[in-house]
Amino acid sequence: MIRTKKLRSKKARCKFCTKDGCPRPAFVDYKDVATMKKLMSPQSKLFSRKRSGLCAPFQRAASAAVKRARFIGLVPYVGE
């Protein structure tokens, strides 16, 4: 039996971090709906860190930003 190598994809880098590192404090604008939609599934669930490629501080900031946007009504609670 011939073994084949599985190709591994490169790990996604955090979209919000700079080359110098992760800026503190981590802030994601809740009014930027286009960015929020990229971080969410069609069912309006937030993607995991592994899937979105965010670092831990920005994942927490994105979670808080999505919750604020949902409360205000910019992003729906459930998918369409």
Residue 74 neighbours by CB under 8 Å, 6+ apart? 30, 31, 33, 36
d(CA 32, CA 29): 6
Q: What pTM, to 2 d.p., does this model score?
A: 0.77
**Residue of 23 and 55 predicted with greater confidence:** 55
- Rounded Cα distance, 39 and 49, in Å: 10
Q: Which residue has the tokens 């490169």?
A: 10
Task: Catalogue all structural domains in the chain, each as residue range(s) with its CATH number.
Answer: 14-80 (4.10.640.10)
Omega before 25 within 30 of 0, i.e. cis: yes
CA gap 80, 78 in Å, rounded: 7
Task: Answer yes or no: is pLDDT of 52 > 80.
Answer: yes
pLDDT value of position 8: 63
Query: Tens digit of pLDDT for each residue in 32-44?
Result: 999 888 989 999 8
